Amino acid sequence: MKKLFGTDGIRGLAGKHPFETDFVKKIGFAAARVAVARLNGSRKGKPSVIIGMDSRGSGPSIKAALSEGLAAGGFEILDLGLVPTPAVSYLVKREGADLGVVISASHNPPEFNGIKFFSADGLKLSDPEEASVEGLLASPDFKVPAAVPGVRRADFSGDYEEYLLSTLPDGFTLEGVKIVLDCANGAASELAPRVFKKLGAEIKVMGASPDGTNINVGCGALETGPMRAETAAWGAWCGVSFDGDADRCMLSDEKGRLLDGDDIISIAAPHLKSGGRLKNSRVVLTLMSNCGLIKHLHSMGIGVTQVAVGDKNVTEAIEKEDLSLGGESSGHTIFREFAPTGDGLLTALQVISAAREDGRPMSAHASWKRFPQEVRSLKVESKPALEKIPGFQEMIEEWERRMGGEGRIFVRYSGTEPLLRVLVEGESDGLVKEIADGIIDFYGRNSGRASAGGAQGGASGRHTVEGK
């Protein structure tokens, strides 16, 4: 069976494999089996699972099928309805549940959907646990016994709201501060405006009318243009764009300039360090983070650990090295002091509170020097191993020579979408663009000539080529 889990759970087109009704039931049953095995007999009574989802129209039918599979595995089900992904991560631990599930495809278009699982500690399932789920599903003898789900609806949004507010300094207020919120027509549509209003902010809300078909459409963390334009036009102090399931965010300063995940780290890391809250004076970044950020952090005595793309990889490194902060340039940020996974609302609140401490405008923050960077995405029908494409490695090495050792090239397949992603970074803007165009062109002309076999990945020198 083809690998099911990507870098952020299971993703695909709704109604297509792996989201056919019968197969979704199997996914639920397999996850239940793996979760029960993890309990190892420690649970007295029936195990429980907390389920939430974003605003996609396909969500309810996937939830119904998944619930049947979970019930077949003996689970009682607590249905939270429309909630941000990090709310499930928080509540599964607080409520003592044995498993958490979110039905969401995050930043993907509305025709996609996905399933993310969280263990009892609020963390995403480990790679071995995901492999165990896939192993069960690969067996032709794996059947789901009939079961009627025992589903209980619950609204913990108020509890989650209070938890978010509790992470802020005593007395913190946004009284009279103008902030633009773009909720991506997704899971933050009700909660985000409520939280910021409670802090006294004067808000202008965009993308908060989910109808099942408009999540992430022309809005959200991947489409920040409307939010940034409104922030500048309205004279807001800042703007915030969440993605569909609100596990990440992007910001804007008062001039409409984008502040991405690297900027978020550049504000949060020194703030935590100055307060003695940056454990081991080190942060975790992915290979997509700008080299300029790393130089900036080093200049302030802050070390950097870099990992492969995926917020789960960031979380694992944070846990392993006992750190307190990590993130991706895409806006996934983990403030481990408060949460084990990325949380868009939490991130926005932490960054805004940190930036407002000195009375300067948002544009005065995140002033580090960014290396010119080009990020490209190419839609692909298949994902041949990059090192098996004739001349691909040699082409990358030639571009590296042209860069003269100042910069980097990073090529990988998306773990959640049918895309090839290319990042090129260097001191010359013109050369960076030329290289990015050249890689996309070479791949388009030669990917069909890839030889069979071999792992989809590899790395050498200052460039990184990943196939999965």
pLDDT tens sequence across 33-44: 999 999 987 888
- For position 460, what pLDDT does the model report? 30
Q: Is the pTM of this model over 0.85?
A: yes
- For position 282, what pLDDT does the model report? 99
Residue 330 has pLDDT above 80, yes or no: yes
The CATH number of the domain covering residues in 373-466? 3.30.310.50
| pLDDT, tens digit, 9 for 90 and up, residues 394-415 | 999 999 999 887 788 999 998 8
- For position 467, what pLDDT does the model report? 40
Confidence band, pLDDT 50/70/90 cuts, at residue 366: confident
Q: Give the number of residues written for the chain.
A: 468
Share of the chain above pLDDT 90, in %: 87
| pLDDT, tens digit, 9 for 90 and up, residues 219-247 | 999 999 999 999 999 999 999 999 999 99
Among 174, 58, 177, 158, smallest CA distance to 109 is for: 58
Residue 23 has pLDDT above 70, yes or no: yes
CATH topology for 261-343+352-364 is Alpha-D-Glucose-1,6-Bisphosphate; Chain A, domain 3 (3.40.120)
Residue 461 has pLDDT above 60, yes or no: no
Is the distance from CB of 422 to CB of 410 less than 8 angstroms? yes
Backbone angle region of 359, left / alpha / beta, with phi > 0 → left and psi within -120 to 50 → alpha = left
Say how many C-beta atoms besides its own lie within 10 A of residue 162's C-beta.
11
Identical fold, 10-156 and 261-343+352-364: yes
Class of 175-258 in CATH: alpha beta
Among 53, 71, 72, 67, smallest CA distance to 9 is for: 53
| Contact partners, residue 78, CB within 8 Å, separation at least 6 | 48, 49, 50, 51, 95, 97, 151, 152, 154
d(CA 88, CA 107): 17
Residue 464 has pLDDT above 70, yes or no: no
| pLDDT, tens digit, 9 for 90 and up, residues 37-71 | 999 878 888 999 999 999 999 999 999 999 999 99
d(CA 73, CA 50): 14
CATH 3.40.120.10 for domain 10-156, yes or no, is: yes
Residue 106 designated active-site: yes
Edge to edge, the sheet with strand 303-307 lists: 303-307, 282-286, 325-327, 333-335
Q: How far is CA 42 from the centre of its chain?
A: 32
Edge to edge, the sheet with strand 112-118 lists: 10-13, 112-118, 99-103, 48-53, 76-82, 151-153
Share of the chain above pLDDT 70, in %: 96
Every domain of the chain and the residues it spans: 10-156, 175-258, 261-343+352-364, 373-466
Catalytic annotation, pick one of 106, 189, 241, 289: 106
Confidence band, pLDDT 50/70/90 cuts, at residue 451: low
